[in-house]
Amino acid sequence: MKFTKTLLLGSAAGLMAASGAFAADLPVKAKAVEYVKICSLYGAGFYYIPGTDTCIKLGGYLRAEVALGTNSVYGAANGSPAGAHNRLSNYYTMRAREDLNIDTRTATEYGVVRTFFDGVFSWTTGGYQGSGSATGGTVYTGSLGLNTSGATPALVGSSVNGTDGNTSAGSLGVYYAFIQFAGFTMGKAVSQFDAPWTNYPGNNFDGLVGGSGTVTGVTQFTYTADFGQGVTAAFSAEDATAYYQAGNQNLTGATAGGMIGGSYGTNSIGGSRSPNLVGMVRVDQAWGLFQASVAAKDNHVAYYGATETTGHPDDKWGWAVQLALSIKNIPTGAGDVINIQGVYTDGATRYNFQNLAGSSYSMFGSSGVAYQSVGFANAPDTVYITGSSQETVKTWGFRGAYTHNWDPYWNTALYGAYAQAQYGSLAKTALCGAGGAGGVFGGLAGVTGCNPDFAVGQIGLITRWTPVKNLTFSGDLNWTHLDQKYSGTVGYAGAGTTAKPAALYELKDQDSITLLLRAQRNW
């Protein structure tokens, strides 16, 4: 009986194991595959994220370029070391860049919820710059900053993959990162003050004066109202600290050498107190568009001296107004367009001399009467002297372009810009004395004319060739002219950062000529 019981139990166990094996071999119904579906709600290129009702679009570009005659990509040679026009100045500056943008949209009962991100990865040529030390030497300015640890040239950014000589180093930038919902825009986006073409009415040149241009976005909280028929209006609170600080300079700290270097005193910007307040109205029609923008900026200064007990000037509000016009469908050809804008600022200089253009100039050239010539200028938001109130700097300017399409593959744009800066009586007295014959600079031997007012004029020509869709080759030639109001000669002590020696220099207008060659593949 015991043997029979054991045999029966063993047989049952074997049958159970066999049935389990047979069950494992039976086909199992596979889970349905979720295919990526096209989302046609928001235009071409959108797809549904699987398992959601959110649509996503990926885009971007890869760009390779070289700029000739400048230490930046792509601006004028108007400062140190490019403006020195000597062996420290780059003959060329190269860059490779990949841009990636991610656009998501979801339909809700409140309207579309949108998020947008645009980031760039760049590798840019560095450049040598004088260290300014008594022993001379240079440091190497790479794509991540400036290494000032010693006179021996060293590549910047050694903390990034430093074991391979930094050949893999580069820079990461965030252009845009914002949410749009129920008429609100929250995050980093193009300023509501800007014209739709930001810095580029028809050009690739980054450094155009004559208008605002936050092409890499500014952090903001904005509400936009759509009135229909192409009419919109926006009110925005925008971060003032990143792109809109041209400077609040204490002229008490001004020196002749500092002025020649493009600095008119000690910059004493205080902590952030108020965002810039911006209003905009725009009309978009088949013929083009018209836009009017206004902005208010709080100029908040720190202290007259190094401590709180030295006192400080009261805050001073600046403002700016800009008009922009685009005209399409002009009779010269299909797709031809004219874009123009004009701006006036009072204590808000960056709305004219936008951040990629800058408002500080120190440029050297040839001379027939001295060792070399020099032209310099600076346009902060406000100036003051110890014990005084702030005095605003007033500017005005314009920029524009005409773009003509020769055929579906070639187009050319002629563009230009002009901007002027004007100081008040406090600044002119401090720097040039009463009547232009005294002060920090006007009383120096050889100086026959002293006036901190100045103007910048620019003109350029760009031609683009698009042999196949989304692949464009372009050449952009730009001339920038500094019209400064100083005259005569001046004994300059020199500067190590530009390798300029102590000598007699002629005060003279200066020029910059640059060329950008670019290849870009959009996707």
Q: pLDDT at position 132, please?
A: 63
Sheet bearing 248-250, strands edge to edge:
266-267, 248-250, 382-384, 391-392
**pLDDT of 329:** 87
Q: Please report, as a single letter, which amino acid is at residue 349.
A: T
Quote the pLDDT of residue 153: 34
The pLDDT-based confidence of 27 (bands split at 50, 70, 90) is low
Residue 39 clears pLDDT 80, i.e. is over it: yes
**Pairing assessment for the beta strands 248-250 and 231-238 based on DSSP bridges:** unpaired
List helix spans (H) across 256-370: 256-260
Residue 430 near residue 439 (C-beta atoms within 8 A): yes
Task: Answer yes or no: is pLDDT of 494 > 90.
Answer: yes
Q: What is the CA radius of gyration of the chain?
A: 30
pLDDT at residue 6 is higher than 80: no
Rounded to 5 degrees, what are φ and ψ at 484? -100, 160
Q: Say which range, 85-89, 393-397, 478-482, has the weakest mean pLDDT.
A: 85-89
Per-domain residue ranges of the chain: 57-166+173-522
For range 490-506, the mean pLDDT:
94
Residue position matching structure tokens 């004066």:
209
Contact 251/383 with Cβ under 8 angstroms? yes
Confidence of residue 151 (pLDDT cuts 50, 70, 90): very low
Is the pLDDT score of 154 beyond 80?
no
Average pLDDT of span 422-442: 93
Whole-angstrom distance, CA of residue 320 vs CA of residue 213? 13
Tell me what percent of the residues of the chain surpass a pLDDT of 70.
Answer: 85
* pLDDT band at 140; cut points 50, 70, 90: low
Whether the model clears a pTM of 0.85, i.e. scores above it, the answer is: yes
Q: Name the strand (E) or helix (H) holding 287.
A: none
Rounded to 5°, the CA angle 348-353-357 comes to: 145
Residue 320 near residue 295, CB atoms below 8 Å: yes
List the one residue out of 360, 380, 91, 343 whose CA is nearest residue 199. 343
Task: Please report, for residues 65, 164, 168, 467, the alpha-carbon distance to residue 85 in angstroms, rounded to integers and kept in the order given.
Answer: 22, 32, 30, 37
Query: Residue 347 CA to chain centroid, in angstroms?
Result: 20
Instruction: Give tens-digit pLDDT for 193-214.
Output: 999 999 999 999 999 999 999 9
22 pLDDT more than 50: no
Q: pLDDT band at residue 143, thresholds of 50, 70 and 90? A: very low
Higher pLDDT, 356 or 73: 356
d(CA 354, CA 339): 17
- Alpha-carbon span 73 to 63, nearest angstrom: 12
Note the pLDDT of residue 352: 98
Average pLDDT, the chain: 88
Q: Is 91 left (phi over 0), alpha (psi -120 to 50) or beta?
A: alpha
Cβ atoms < 10 Å from Cβ of 322: 25
Map residue 440 onto helix, strand or coil.
helix
Cβ(363)–Cβ(262) below 8 Å? no
Selection from 72-76, 163-167, 468-472 with the highest mean pLDDT = 468-472
Cβ 278 vs Cβ 293: under 8 Å: yes
Check residue 497 and give its pLDDT. 86
CA distance 137 to 135: 7
Q: Evaluate whether 221 touches 239 at the Cβ level (below 8 Å).
A: no
Domain 57-166+173-522 in CATH 2.40.160.10: yes
Cβ atoms 66, 520 nearer than 8 A? no
Q: Give the position of tokens 């971007």.
A: 60
Whole-number pLDDT of residue 185: 98
Sign, CA dihedral 147-153-157-158, equals negative
Q: Which pLDDT band holds residue 138 (cuts at 50, 70, 90)?
A: low
Share of the chain above pLDDT 90, in %: 80
> CB under 8 Å to 396, separation ≥6 — which residues?
342, 343, 344, 345, 352, 419, 420
State the pLDDT at residue 4. 45
Q: Residue 313: is the preceding peptide bond cis (ω within 30°)?
A: no
Token pair listed for 372: 């070399």
Mean pLDDT of 254-267: 94
**Contact assessment for residue 502 and residue 492, using Cβ atoms and an 8 Å cutoff:** yes
What is the per-residue pLDDT across 350-376, written as a single tens digit (0 to 9) for each? 999 999 999 999 999 999 999 999 999
Average pLDDT over residues 92-116: 95
Q: What pLDDT, on a 0 to 100 scale, did the predictor assign at position 15?
A: 38
Find all residues with CB under 8 Å of 77, minimum gap 6, and list them: 69, 70, 71, 83, 85, 89, 363, 512, 514
pLDDT recorded at residue 517? 98
Residue 230: band (very low, low, confident or very high) from pLDDT cuts 50, 70, 90: very high
CA–CA gap between residue 478 and residue 208 (Å, rounded): 10
Residue 134: pLDDT above 60? no
What does the pLDDT read at residue 131? 66
- What confidence score (pLDDT) does residue 437 get? 83
CA 333: distance to chain centroid? 32
> Which of 169, 164, 152, 220 has its CA nearest to residue 192?
220
pLDDT at residue number 152: 33
Q: Summarize pLDDT for 280-311 with one digit per residue, the tens.
A: 999 999 999 999 999 999 999 999 999 999 99
Residue 377's pLDDT band (cuts 50, 70, 90):
very high
Cα separation values, 386 from 253, 256, 303, 472, Å: 9, 18, 9, 54
Host H or E run for residue 20: helix 2-25
pLDDT tops 90 at residue 8 = no
